[in-house]
Amino acid sequence: MNWVLPEGLTSHSPEGTTFIGGAMEMMPGVSYYYVNLKPGTYAWIAEVPDPASKGMLKVFTVGPPQ
């Protein structure tokens, strides 16, 4: 991921994935991001080198409405 390039957040995405945005330059604390997600598999990822090894890549699943 390289946010300084026009396609830097999507050009290295795995096939079949879509980048939907994120929070930038936030004050220390919590950032909220609201989306309406369809059932499927998603991930939160931090823009740092090797985010998985730092616990900054979280894959999660959204199930059908109850």
Position 53 scores a pLDDT of 92
Position 31 scores a pLDDT of 75
Mean pLDDT, consecutive 10-residue stretches, the chain (66 aa), reads: 62 67 71 84 83 89 90
3-state secondary structure of 51: helix
How many residues in total does the chain contain?
A: 66
Is residue 27, in this structure, part of any structural domain at all?
no
Is residue 51, in this structure, part of any structural domain at all?
yes
Position 9 scores a pLDDT of 60
Q: What pTM, to 2 d.p., does this model score?
A: 0.60
Is residue 66, in this structure, part of any structural domain at all?
yes
Number of domains present in the structure of the chain: 1
Domain hosting residue 47, numbered range = 33-66
Is residue 9, in this structure, part of any structural domain at all?
no
Position 51 scores a pLDDT of 83
Handedness of CA 12, 43, 37, 29 (dihedral sign): negative
Please report, in angstroms and rounded to a whole number, the separation of the first and last CA atoms in the chain.
35
Is residue 56, in this structure, part of any structural domain at all?
yes
Position 63 scores a pLDDT of 95
Position 62 scores a pLDDT of 95
Is residue 45, in this structure, part of any structural domain at all?
yes
